Amino acid sequence: MTWTLHGTHAKEGDLVQLVGLSHKHFLITLKAGSTMQTHRGVVAHDDIIGKPWGSKIQSHLERPFFLLQPSIADLLSELPRSTQIMYPKDVGFVLMTMGIGPGQHILEAGTGSGGLTSVFAYYVGDSGRIFTYERNEQHQARAKKNVEMLGLTDRVVFHTADIESGFEETDVDAIFLDVPNPYDFIAHVKDTLKSGGFFGSILPTTNQVSKLVSELRTHGFQYIQVVETFFRYYKPEPDRLRPVDRMVAHTGFLIFARNMVFQGDDEGIFNDSEEPSNN
């Protein structure tokens, strides 16, 4: 199986997306001789293989589907899951704010179903590595299958372990904690994250955020940001353009910080009027 945004035609082994007129999505891996069963009819994989992206494919009931290459956001939304995953609106902001890119070594804890793991693995490229920790063996097993489905296994090191005793890695470029109590592990983060490296986390409530910010300051992290992201779709009808009836509002608070190295009384400089703001 391959997932790629390159090429002009669908090939056997490709992970593809079929979209009906109702915008319902189907993700399938193309295999000669196989079929996809839907309430809109049966679609033969042989009718898809070799077709250009964007082509119309018809089921045996002559109901139309359109052949597309799934984006990373499509995959994140459609991955089989045993836990809640982060929304693309939050993931995109995480990638930009934490500077995730090719060749980096990223550590995360709280693998869950492997959604964020997969996104990180995609963006660090062949030369990067993701080290991901999850204590629930069933969740980790699901995450491994999802990462394998996307062809990204070679970029990910899975640890089925509790992070109370710390991390095996050192000098990683960034750490993201998707756990209920990240404030309990900031000392371990300090030991593992390179100087100047990026820290990130997501939490649902303000009291958790307050505890985390306090711990970050205690351990010398600065340039702390707390942010919510809001995203609203509009109905793409030129004569009656308006917001959609429903939107995803609060999904969590994103917290970011940088790992600083202080000498002597340097840390005190952040207590004066020039302390960095979150604006």
In this structure, the answer to whether residues 50 and 119 fall within a common structural domain is: no
**Is 19 in a helix, a strand, or coil?**
strand
pLDDT value for 262: 72
Span of 207-211, 227-231, 245-249 with lowest mean pLDDT: 245-249
93 part of a folded domain: yes
47 part of a folded domain: yes
Q: Which residue has the tokens 């964020």?
A: 116
pLDDT averaged over every residue in the chain = 90
DSSP letter for 56, please: E
8 part of a folded domain: no
Task: Give the end of a domain, one of 52, 70, 88.
Answer: 70
What residues make up the domain containing 58?
Answer: 15-70
In this structure, the answer to whether residues 252 and 114 fall within a common structural domain is: yes
In this structure, the answer to whether residues 149 and 43 fall within a common structural domain is: no
Q: What is d(CA 42, CA 62) in angstroms, rounded to the nearest whole number?
A: 9
DSSP letter for 70, please: P
Q: What is d(CA 188, CA 192) in angstroms, rounded to the nearest whole number?
A: 6
Give one DSSP letter per residue of 247-259, joined into a string: ------EEEEEEE
Q: What is d(CA 69, CA 14) in angstroms, rounded to the nearest whole number?
A: 9
Q: Which residue has the tokens 């609060």?
A: 250
279 part of a folded domain: no
pLDDT value for 273: 45
In this structure, the answer to whether residues 25 and 110 fall within a common structural domain is: no
pLDDT value for 169: 97
Task: Give the end of a domain, one of 47, 70, 93.
Answer: 70
Beta strands at 105-109 and 41-44: parallel, antiparallel or unpaired: unpaired
Structure tokens at 2: 């391959």
Q: What residues contact 46, with CB distance under 8 A and at least 6 apart?
A: 32, 33
Residue 248, pLDDT above cutoff 90: no
Please say whether the beta carbons of 212 and 183 come within 8 A: yes
pLDDT tens-digit series, residues 88-140: 899 999 999 999 999 999 999 999 999 999 999 999 999 999 999 999 999 99
4 part of a folded domain: no
Mean pLDDT of 6-15: 89
What CATH code is carried by the domain that includes residue 48?
3.10.330.20
In this structure, the answer to whether residues 93 and 208 fall within a common structural domain is: yes
Residue 68, pLDDT above cutoff 70: yes
pLDDT value for 267: 61
Structure tokens at 190: 């300090």
Residue 41, pLDDT above cutoff 60: yes
277 part of a folded domain: no
In this structure, the answer to whether residues 64 and 89 fall within a common structural domain is: no
In this structure, the answer to whether residues 156 and 122 fall within a common structural domain is: yes
In this structure, the answer to whether residues 201 and 220 fall within a common structural domain is: yes
Please tell me the total count of domains within the chain.
2
CA distances from 79 to 18, 60, 123, 246 (A): 15, 27, 18, 22
Beta-bridge partner residues of 52: 9
